[in-house]
């Protein structure tokens, strides 16, 4: 799966921005999908059929377009964005894991922890401790966990 970088709003034609504007139809479509997911992030009932309806496509059309653009299904994209936002919140916010899970659309704390661990290869609380300065909890056989290219795991300098 290609890495997906979540950006709330991509600048279009902003001269002071270091980013190139996205002018392609695919870029605008992908930005619309990401914005829709972010706008519904805390809605635990937000699923693929709702996303497809909001971007005016059938579920199968949405699936085909996202597979072509980012090599991910709509469900994977929603989950990846939720987990990426959760990781950012865990690194910066002192809120509990349960509160953060709820804020990114997970109703079940256990399901969130299982999904987070599958994606980042550590529990949300271990991730938060590591990002806030206690790296020791992320050692595995004496090695600090790093990105293996297959999973998008944060790098620890």
86 φ, ψ (degrees, to nearest 5) = -60, -45
If we measure between CA atoms, which residue out of 72, 87, 59, 98 comes closest to residue 153? 87
- Reported as type and span, the H/E element at residue 144 is strand 143-144
Provide the whole-model pTM: 0.70
- pLDDT truncated to tens, each residue of the chain (157 aa)? 555 655 555 444 444 555 655 468 888 999 999 999 999 998 989 999 999 999 999 999 999 999 999 999 999 999 999 999 999 999 987 889 999 999 999 999 999 999 999 999 999 999 998 887 754 444 444 334 443 444 444 333 3
Domains of the chain: residue spans and CATH: 25-137 (1.10.10.60)
The tally of CA atoms less than 13 A away on the side-chain side of residue 81 is 25
Neighbours of 23 (CB within 10 A): 9
């Amino acid at each position: 799966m290609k890495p997906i970088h979540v950006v709330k709003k991509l600048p279009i034609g902003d001269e002071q921005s270091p980013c190139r504007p996205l002018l392609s139809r695919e870029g605008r479509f992908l930005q619309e999908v990401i914005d829709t997911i972010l706008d519904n992030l805390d809605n635990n009932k937000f699923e693929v059929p709702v996303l497809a309806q909001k971007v005016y496509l059938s579920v199968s059309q949405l699936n085909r377009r996202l597979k072509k653009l980012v090599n991910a299904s709509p469900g994977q994209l929603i989950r990846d964005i939720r987990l990426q936002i959760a990781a950012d919140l865990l690194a910066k916010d002192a809120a509990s894991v349960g509160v953060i899970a709820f804020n990114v659309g997970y109703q079940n704390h256990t399901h969130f922890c299982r999904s987070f661990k599958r994606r980042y290869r550590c529990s949300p609380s271990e991730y938060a401790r590591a990002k806030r300065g206690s790296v020791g909890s992320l050692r595995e056989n004496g090695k600090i966990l790093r990105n293996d290219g297959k999973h998008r795991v944060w790098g620890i300098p």
